[in-house]
Structure 1
Amino acid sequence: MNKAKLTELLSIHHPIIMAPMFLVSNTKMVIEGMRSGIAGCIPALNYRTIDELKAAIKELKAAKVEGGSYGFNLIVNKSNIKYKEQLRVLCEEGVDFIITSLGSPEETIREAHKAGIKVFCDVTDLHFAKKVESFGADALIAVNNQAGGHRGNLDPATLIKQLNENTSLPIISAGGVGTKADINQMLTYGAVGVSVGSPFIASIESNVSNEYKQACVDYSAKDIVMTERISGTPCTVINTPYVQKVGTKQPWIERLLNKNKSLKKWVKMFRFYIGMKATEKAATEVTYKTVWVAGPSIEHTKAILPIQSIVQQLIKN
C-alpha cells in the first residue's frame, strides 16, 4: 500500500516532527524548526491558561513559512482537566495538526476534522493502532522502546512492521533518532517520517536550564534509566546522582496503595502531580533534585546549538 509521506501530509521539506516535550517545547523552537523545513509540536499543557495557549497559536500562525508546519499535543484522558477547552481553542484558532496521547482520541479526531485539522495518534502497539484507525486518525505516531519519556515496549523495526502490515495508516516513528542515518533506517523499516525529541533539548531556544541542556551533552545513551517516581508509569530519565540516590522504583507505600482498586486512581493522580512538579523545578532551576527526562538519542548531542543547526545535523550527517 502506498502511504502518504510525512512531507506530503504536512507540506514540509524534511520528514521530521520536532516532538512535543513537556516543559521543553516552546514557540521559539517551533518557529526555528519551521524555518528549517520541518514540523514542530508543543504540548498544550505547557501553557497554564487558555489565553496563553491562544496567544501561542496566533504567534505560530503569524510566523509560519512555506515548508514548515506547527501543531499541538493533547493529553486526551481524564487526568487533563483542561482537555475540552484546549481542544475547542485549537479547533477555533486553527492549527496544522494535533498529536494525541494517553487516552481515546475519538472526540479529538471528530472535532479536529470538522476544522480541517489532521490528527496523529501516539500508539505503542497494534491493538490501540487499529482502534484509532477506526476513529479516522490521519497517521500513527509509533512510540518505540528507544523513545524518551513514556516509551513503548517494542523495537522500532518490529513496531513499524506490525503497524504497516495491519493498518492502512502512515507510520511516523518516534524514538531512537539522533542522526540522518537513524532517520534513513526508520524510513527503510517502512515509516513515512520521524518524531524527534531529545536532540532538541540542548538547543539555545529551549527554556530549560543550562544545567539540563549541558547534561544532555555530558551524559550518553548508557546513562538513561527508567523510573517510576515521576508519573507512576515508567519514564526515561538521565541517571544523575540524585536519581541514583532516591532509586527508580515506586515507594513501598505507593505499591501497596496501588493494589487497592478504590484508591489506585487517586494514588496515580497524586504521584503524577508530585512528579510533574519535581520535573518542572529541575528543568527550570538549579537544584540538587535533578530529575531530567531524556531518551537515549542524547548520545549524539555534543554541544548546545541553535535549532537550525540541530536540524542541519539531522538532514545532512
Structure 2
Amino acid sequence: MAQNKLAPIETSFSKLMGVQYPIIAAPMFLVSNEDLVVAASEAGGVGTFPSLNYRPPEKFKEALTNIKSRTKKPIGVNIIVNKSNTRQEGDLKIALDAGVELFITSLGNPKSVIQDAHKNGAKVVCDVTNLEFAKKVQDLGADGVIAVGAGAGGHAGPISPLVLIPWLKSELQIPIIAAGGISHGGQIAACLALGASAVSVGTRFIASKEAGVDIAYKQAVVSSTPEDIVMTTRVSGTPAAVINTDYVKKLGTDLPWLLKSLKDNPMTKKYVVPLIHLMGMKALEKSATNPSWKTVWSAGQSVGLVDDILETAEIYRRLVNEYHEAKQSLP
C-alpha cells in the first residue's frame, strides 16, 4: 500500500509537529544516520539522531545540511545536556542555524536548550523516567516528555509503560511520548489509549536497511528474544539495556568495584562519570561498525517482535496499518 493512502493518526503531538503520524524514529547512538532520518520524516513521522553521532562538530553540521537538502519535513536532534557533553552549546547553535524543528534532551538539565529552541520556534521534548523530573521540565517550558519505561533499549527506565504513561498523564499538561518496547502498531494503539500522544520507536529501526550499523548487529536484533536483553552499568555507568552476547556475559553487568566507588564518591564523581561515558561510547562504536568477539549491542525488549530487516518506509507502513487494525479489532 502506498504511504499516502494510509489514514493519518491525529494527536496533539502530530498537530504540534505538523506530521501525519506521531511516530518518532528514536535517536540512537551510531544507528541513526542521514538516510534513516530522511526516510522516517519522508514516511510521515519524525526522523531524529544524536548530534554526537557525527564527530567532529563540522561533520554534524555537514550531516544536517545534507538532511535538510533531502527533506522539507520536520526532523529532530538529540542533545545530551549533562556536563560531560562539552559540545552541547555548539551543537545546539548548529542545529538551530540549520532549522531543526525538534530537540530531544537527555541525561541532564534542558533549561538552556528549551530557552534557545523556543526563540527559534523549535519544540523540545525531554527524556524522563519518573514524575519528579517530568514536572521539572514541564515547569522549564518543555513541549512534551518522552516517558522512557521498562523494556526500552539503552538507558531504560524502571517503570512499566502500563503504569508510567497514565501516571504522568494524570499529573502533566504537556504531551507524553511513550518509549520502551514498541515495535508493533498494536502497541502504539495501546500507548495512545493509556494517554500518550506519540511514541518513540528505537530498536525496530536498528533492523532497517538504512541504519548505519553492521549487518551482524541487525541480524542480532532479528534473532534475539526479550529474554536476551539485560541491563548493564558497564557501558556508561547508568543502567543500559543491551543484547546479552557472549562478551557481555564474560564482562558482567556491574561496574568494576574501583570505578563504582569513584563514581559514587562526591569528590571524584564529576571526573569519573565523563570517563565512563567516553569508554562506553568507544565500546559501542567499535561493536556497531566492526563487530568482534568483544561485542556490546544496545537494544530493547521489542527485539522479540522484530522478524526482518526492512526499509524504513515499509516499517512505517506496517506500524500504521497495525495501529488501525488494532483499533478496529477492539470489542
The two structures have a TM-score, normalised by structure 1, of 0.95
| Inter-partner Cα distance in structure 2 for 1:227 and 1:111 | 34
| Inter-partner Cα distance in structure 2 for 1:165 and 1:233 | 28
Cα 1:259/1:8, change in 2 over 3 Å? closer
CA shift for structure 1 position 274: 1.3
| 1:128 partner amino acid | F
- Corresponding residue of 1:276: 281
- Corresponding residue of 1:110: 115
- Asked if the contact 1:144/1:151 (under 8 Å) is kept, the reply is yes
Say if 2:209 is the partner of 1:196.
no
Say if 2:203 is the partner of 1:175.
no
| Inter-partner Cα distance in structure 2 for 1:23 and 1:72 | 13
List gaps (5 residues or longer) in structure 1.
Answer: none
- The runs of 4+ residues in structure 1 deviating greater than 4 Å are none
CA shift for structure 1 position 240: 0.7
- Corresponding residue of 1:208: 213
| 1:200 partner amino acid | F
Report how many residues are paired: 313
Q: Of residues 157, 164, 173 in structure 2, which corresponds to 1:159?
A: 164
CA shift for structure 1 position 267: 2.3
| Inter-partner Cα distance in structure 1 for 2:269 and 2:144 | 33
| Inter-partner Cα distance in structure 1 for 2:14 and 2:196 | 12
- Asked if the contact 1:4/1:170 (under 8 Å) is kept, the reply is no
| Inter-partner Cα distance in structure 2 for 1:255 and 1:30 | 36
| 1:241 partner amino acid | D
- Asked if the contact 2:106/2:126 (under 8 Å) is kept, the reply is yes
Query: Structure 2 matches for 1:109-148, cutoff 5 A?
Result: 109-148=114-153
**SS at structure 2 position matched to 1:314:** helix
List gaps (5 residues or longer) in structure 2.
Answer: 1-9, 323-331
Cα deviation 1:105-164 (Å, max 9, x = unaligned): 111111111011111111111111111111111111111112110011211122111211
CA shift for structure 1 position 304: 1.5
| Inter-partner Cα distance in structure 1 for 2:84 and 2:49 | 18
CA shift for structure 1 position 4: 5.6
Query: Structure 2 matches for 1:8-87, cutoff 5 A?
Result: 8-65=15-72, 68-87=73-92
Cα 1:259/1:7, change in 2 over 3 Å? closer
CA shift for structure 1 position 35: 2.0
- Corresponding residue of 1:241: 246
